[in-house]
């Protein structure tokens, strides 16, 4: 992040604007929305700037810039057509540790101004760091259309009740849940219709009621195979509402970025043959957090009920009397196959799909090999890379030909995705040559023969 966004208190801010043409006037108009004290220095002024001077909204020094003009200033905008003057002022400001913005000269700026969607006191600021101004404009247009004009009224109404809500609810979680009920329900709709008195009375009534806040609960949420764009809307909504997020190793950093910033994040990651937190401790953690009144999201790679141990966690929640819900996610088999260009079913190659884990609860690989080693089906092994020699040996011993096609998909659906194909005879050597590491998915069957053709024609193919 090259430019870090900040919201500056403008109550006592002193701002200098050098230049008084139309560009400088636009910066002035932006600052006139704040409480800052504005001084303009320029030998010539356009009509719009003179209008603000005549209204006594800015102080004008109608002359050339002097370095002494920087004395006491806390923010400087430079908008002249004299490049050397712009460079000189930028150098002076940086030497004096005064933030400076030189219009249309990013290299001379110590700060840049964002594109703003103004619903004061709610302000949305967008920036591309000067790299994509057209994209920025399009995003702002979308946000302007999405955010109701009366959102400012709703924000001010909420602010007027902050102290009362603090008095009514002692914990941060209780207050957050209360405001979510207000802002996501009928009260907010009433305020956005302009019926502020009615909305205020509804808030008063809700505060006066003796109804307790909802007890803690747990949401088992499937995070999908890695690409954040594969999250469901419901998953994203719950991630933004969680008090605590319990996540594992298969949840990508990009997906964690979408979790609410102030939510507590607890890592309980696992990898092959190494469990940093035993499953029974994870189960108890979920129960304890919910009993403490927390809204818990158990974020799992793929789908919670497909080799995600979601069933074990639900059993513990049921025994403890904890309310829960399960949000399905795109399982790794579907994600890996789609992004690798390998269809899981195809009338010419496979009429069924079998999903299997290469590690059972006791870390064995004791599977029903005769049932797995059948033709005209696709096999998908989860968590199977370390067991690859066993898989290849057992499938051949139970009837599959040595030239049966097999694919290994590492870090499926992410920018690091890597696909290695081969046969049951040679895939071990190919995997070693490619230095594949978990997490990786194994796909076995005739559908793998379509990999090169299907992947080459796919938009955004990673291989």
Q: Annotation-wise, does 44 bind a ligand? A: yes
Distance of CA 35 to the CA centre of its chain: 33
The 10 Å Cβ neighbour count of residue 292 is: 13
* Domain-embedded: residue 271: yes
Q: Are residues 187 and 265 in the same domain?
A: no
Q: Are residues 345 and 444 in the same domain?
A: yes
Residue keyed to tokens 């029974």 = 280
CATH code (residue 82): 3.40.50.720
Annotated catalytic sites, by residue? 248, 270
Q: How many domains does the chain have?
A: 4
| pLDDT digit string, tens, across residues 89-137 | 999 999 999 999 999 899 999 999 999 999 989 999 999 888 888 999 9
Q: Are residues 79 and 158 in the same domain?
A: no
Q: Of the residues 272, 301, 330, which one is the last residue of a structural domain?
A: 330
Question: Does residue 11 surpass a pLDDT of 90?
Answer: yes
Q: Annotation-wise, does 369 bind a ligand? A: no
Average pLDDT over all residues of the chain: 91
Backbone phi and psi for residue 367, each to the nearest 5 degrees, phi listed first: -105, 170
Q: Are residues 366 and 383 in the same domain?
A: yes
Domain of residue 80 covers: 14-113
Q: Annotation-wise, does 225 bind a ligand? A: yes
Backbone phi and psi for residue 120, each to the nearest 5 degrees, phi listed first: -45, 125
Lateral strand order in the sheet of 14-18:
59-61, 37-41, 14-18, 75-78, 100-102
| pLDDT digit string, tens, across residues 57-74 | 999 999 999 999 999 999
Q: Annotation-wise, does 35 bind a ligand? A: no
- Pairing between strand 440-444 and 378-382? antiparallel
* Domain-embedded: residue 131: no
Q: Given pLDDT bands bounded at 50, 70 and 90, which one contains residue 453? A: confident
Question: Does residue 186 surpass a pLDDT of 90?
Answer: no
Q: Are residues 346 and 452 in the same domain?
A: yes
């Amino acid at each position: 992040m090259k430019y870090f966004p900040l919201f500056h208190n403008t109550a006592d801010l002193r701002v200098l604007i050098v230049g008084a043409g139309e560009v400088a006037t636009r910066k002035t108009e932006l600052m006139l929305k704040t409480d800052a004290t504005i001084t303009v220095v320029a030998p010539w002024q356009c009509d719009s700037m003179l209008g603000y001077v005549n209204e006594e909204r800015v102080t004008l020094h109608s002359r050339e810039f002097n370095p002494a003009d920087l004395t006491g200033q806390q923010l400087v905008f430079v908008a002249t057509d004299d490049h050397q003057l712009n460079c000189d002022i930028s150098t002076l400001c940086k030497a004096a540790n005064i933030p400076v913005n030189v219009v249309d000269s990013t290299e001379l700026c110590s700060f840049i101004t964002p594109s703003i969607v103004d619903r004061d006191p709610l302000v949305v600021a967008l920036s591309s760091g000067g790299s994509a101004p057209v994209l920025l404009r399009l995003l702002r247009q979308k946000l302007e259309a999405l955010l109701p004009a009366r959102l400012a009224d709703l924000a001010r109404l909420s602010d007027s009740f902050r102290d009362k809500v603090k008095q009514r609810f002692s914990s941060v979680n209780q207050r957050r849940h209360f405001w979510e009920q207000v802002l996501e329900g009928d009260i907010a709709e009433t305020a956005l219709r302009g019926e502020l008195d009615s909305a205020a009375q509804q808030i008063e009534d809700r505060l006066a009621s003796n109804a307790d806040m909802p007890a803690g609960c747990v949401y088992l949420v499937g995070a999908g195979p890695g690409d954040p764009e594969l999250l469901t809307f419901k998953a994203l909504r719950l991630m933004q509402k969680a008090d605590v997020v319990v996540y594992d190793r298969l949840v990508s950093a990009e997906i964690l970025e979408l979790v609410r910033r102030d939510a507590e994040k607890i890592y309980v990651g696992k990898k092959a043959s190494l469990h940093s937190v035993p499953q029974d401790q994870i189960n108890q953690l979920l129960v304890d957090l919910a009993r403490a009144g927390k809204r818990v999201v158990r974020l799992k790679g793929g789908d919670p009920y497909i080799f995600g141990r979601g069933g074990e966690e639900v059993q513990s929640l049921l025994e403890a009397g904890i309310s829960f819900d399960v949000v399905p996610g795109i399982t790794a088999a579907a994600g890996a196959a789609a992004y690798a260009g390998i269809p899981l079913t195809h009338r010419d190659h496979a009429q069924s799909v079998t999903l299997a884990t290469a590690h059972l609860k006791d870390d064995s690989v004791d599977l029903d090999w005769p049932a797995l080693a059948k033709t005209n089906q696709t096999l998908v092994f989860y968590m199977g890379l370390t067991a690859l020699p066993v898989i290849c040996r057992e499938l051949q011993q139970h009837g599959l030909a040595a030239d049966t096609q097999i694919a290994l998909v590492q870090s499926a659906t992410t920018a690091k995705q890597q696909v290695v194909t081969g046969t049951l005879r040679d895939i071990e050597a190919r995997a070693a040559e490619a230095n594949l590491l978990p997490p990786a998915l194994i796909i076995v069957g005739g559908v793998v023969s379509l990999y090169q053709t299907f992947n080459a024609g796919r938009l955004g193919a990673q291989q």
